[in-house]
A and B are shown apart, each in its own frame.
Chain A
């Protein structure tokens, strides 16, 4: 299923490509406290997080933050630099990005918990070299409204004239392509293997199996 660029349609099923415009957010080590400040974590559902993404950075930039620029308002592909999403494990961060409209992220590298949280929502985080990121940023800067395509099966990001190689581990790629990124069902299917493991763990049987 091709992803629709509709902000209220969240990822579902097999994710093969994401088509839309790109938003550039430059900078290394952008942490999840910045993506969604802690005060917005006081909620029992994720619904209102989209409006609050980068709340403090946006206030500081007073309208000029990439998430406030009108040319970016329909963007679905986020382009970042290194170690994006470091810090707190809050899934509120990818939830906020997703609810704002982001459906794929391309960057030099991602913090692991953030990467896993995105995958669990069906949002691919794909990596590429610093030079490719610079080239992509430049293309976007020169022509903000062009249509881009992130092709997960072939590991590419492309616009009408050029394409760049992007990377994702084959296991994660397969999970996205096959629609198996929602892990609960997969884990449940291995019920018996789990019980076998549990029977072997000393701390689950009061260490009786240890002589």
Chain B
């Protein structure tokens, strides 16, 4: 317990990357301090890397300087850096689970809001700012106030053509982008238990878009199966002991929550955002809402969204013409995402005038996808196959929208200007829906393509 009543929590895994760490290392140097636990700190490079030509030096001198700074800091402080070409570089929230670094019962932090992803493993994981990165480097701990917990129970199961991304977009659309402020979201119920680890990561990844600092899912057999045999997973007798401990971490069935809410997965359709917050979503069958039909608190932002998106209330989101299709990001850049999209793309061609590209979430995802021939499926259809990185999710690299282009994007944020153009427009959707948009050139219900295929 610290002054002011905050709790000091130990950090089990500190992930760092090139964007939010340089100022923290500079502050550490000013304090004349060393990194407290270099072996609990792991680095990679993701936000600023180009996805076309990754040879060094990068053509952008600022990006090159950021990577050089990270390399120097990691070297000076003896921190493991999974750099470009290491075979394990990638988006920080893709590689940590992939390497077995993220484990149940750990506290995981990173200077990136999508750290909530790691809660899929039964970890307490959240994003922090650069001053806190400094604190964790210096002390391997943080000040934290206790969060309330809302259990989001999902009954039923997702229908064909409806994915984890649709589920989380539906939840955020229902609870709102500020509904989770002050809460951690625990996702539970039969529909969650049925999800793979990669799908669970998609859910927890976007908890922050609903305002919740963390997402969390109880660890179970699916979690343990995923972790077994990974580079940093326990082995031998430690593995058995680890499972024994991990099982005990699950919340009890009769646990008391600060709030509970239920959804039925079987009632959810493919969901697409139409506005400028991730909460402005609609199912593919719905028409865009009239601002006057919305609750007072949602009216002003809806009007702002219509103005920015150049869409009309009462019109359909279906058939909106798309300029750019992006499959990737820490939300949906894993192997299963690419497999699902490839299945839809196979034997089809990208519509005329559409730029479509796939950015694997990590070097491992890329290698696994290539060994399954997915790269050729995408390339044959007219997609570009890129190198791993954050890419156009946030456009801190050469991948960006131009002018008022409209993108179908498997990423997590549709904020104004998010994808690198001050008037660029983003429609968030599942990788399957992005694939469908690429083929048809417009927002389309992927379920129709799946019917044609079967």
- Residues on A lying within 8 angstroms of B by beta carbon are 27-29, 31, 33-34, 37-39, 41-46, 56-57, 59-60, 82-83, 86-92, 94, 109, 111-113, 116-117, 120-121, 169-175, 178, 180, 183-184, 186-188, 190, 193-194, 197-198, 201-204, 206-208, 210-211
Chain B residue nearest in CB terms to A175: B4
- Whether B413 sits at the interface, judged by CB under 8 Å, is yes
In the bound complex, do residue A207 and residue B238 qualify as a contact, i.e. CB atoms below 8 Å apart?
yes
In the bound complex, do residue B245 and residue A202 qualify as a contact, i.e. CB atoms below 8 Å apart?
yes
Measured between C-beta atoms, what is the minimum distance from A84 to chain B in Å? 10
| A170–B241 alpha-carbon span in the complex (Å) | 42
In the bound complex, residues from chain A placing their C-beta under 8 Å from that of B242 are 202-203, 207, 210
In the bound complex, do residue A91 and residue B213 qualify as a contact, i.e. CB atoms below 8 Å apart?
no
| A144–B326 alpha-carbon span in the complex (Å) | 45
Given pairs A89-B113, A91-B130, A184-B135, 18 additional interface contacts (CB within 8 A): A42-B66, A43-B66, A44-B69, A60-B422, A90-B129, A113-B128, A113-B213, A174-B5, A175-B6, A183-B131, A183-B142, A187-B135, A190-B2, A190-B8, A201-B12, A204-B12, A208-B241, A210-B241
In the bound complex, do residue A39 and residue B420 qualify as a contact, i.e. CB atoms below 8 Å apart?
yes
- Whether B139 sits at the interface, judged by CB under 8 Å, is yes
| A201–B246 alpha-carbon span in the complex (Å) | 12
In the bound complex, residues from chain B placing their C-beta under 8 Å from that of A59 are 422
- Whether B244 sits at the interface, judged by CB under 8 Å, is yes
In the bound complex, residues from chain B placing their C-beta under 8 Å from that of A94 are 129
In the bound complex, do residue B182 and residue A112 qualify as a contact, i.e. CB atoms below 8 Å apart?
yes
In the bound complex, do residue A28 and residue B301 qualify as a contact, i.e. CB atoms below 8 Å apart?
yes
Could you give, for residues 170-210 of chain B, a 1 whenever the CB lies within 8 Å of some chain A CB and a 0 otherwise?
Answer: 00000001100110000000000000000000000000000
User: When A86-B211, A89-B20, A210-B242 are in contact, do A113 and B129 touch as well, CB less than 8 Å?
Assistant: yes
| A208–B23 alpha-carbon span in the complex (Å) | 37
In the bound complex, do residue B22 and residue A89 qualify as a contact, i.e. CB atoms below 8 Å apart?
no
- Residues on B lying within 8 angstroms of A by beta carbon are 2-6, 8, 10, 12, 19-20, 22-23, 26, 31, 47-48, 60, 62-63, 65-66, 69, 103, 105-106, 111-113, 115, 126-132, 134-135, 138-143, 145, 177-178, 181-182, 211, 213, 234, 238, 241-242, 244-245, 277, 297, 300-301, 304, 394-396, 413, 415-418, 420, 422-423
User: When A90-B129, A203-B12, A210-B241 are in contact, do A27 and B300 touch as well, CB less than 8 Å?
Assistant: yes
| A80–B320 alpha-carbon span in the complex (Å) | 34
Residue contacts A-B, CB under 8 angstroms, 5 given: A38-B420, A45-B22, A60-B423, A112-B213, A184-B31
| A57–B413 alpha-carbon span in the complex (Å) | 17
In the bound complex, do residue B396 and residue A194 qualify as a contact, i.e. CB atoms below 8 Å apart?
no
In the bound complex, do residue B131 and residue A120 qualify as a contact, i.e. CB atoms below 8 Å apart?
yes
| A194–B107 alpha-carbon span in the complex (Å) | 14
In the bound complex, do residue B301 and residue A31 qualify as a contact, i.e. CB atoms below 8 Å apart?
no
User: When A37-B417, A89-B112, A203-B105 are in contact, do A187 and B142 touch as well, CB less than 8 Å?
Assistant: yes
In the bound complex, do residue B4 and residue A187 qualify as a contact, i.e. CB atoms below 8 Å apart?
no
In the bound complex, do residue A43 and residue B129 qualify as a contact, i.e. CB atoms below 8 Å apart?
no
In the bound complex, do residue B422 and residue A90 qualify as a contact, i.e. CB atoms below 8 Å apart?
no
In the bound complex, do residue B105 and residue A202 qualify as a contact, i.e. CB atoms below 8 Å apart?
yes
In the bound complex, do residue A111 and residue B181 qualify as a contact, i.e. CB atoms below 8 Å apart?
yes
In the bound complex, do residue A42 and residue B396 qualify as a contact, i.e. CB atoms below 8 Å apart?
yes
| A42–B48 alpha-carbon span in the complex (Å) | 8
In the bound complex, do residue A186 and residue B396 qualify as a contact, i.e. CB atoms below 8 Å apart?
no
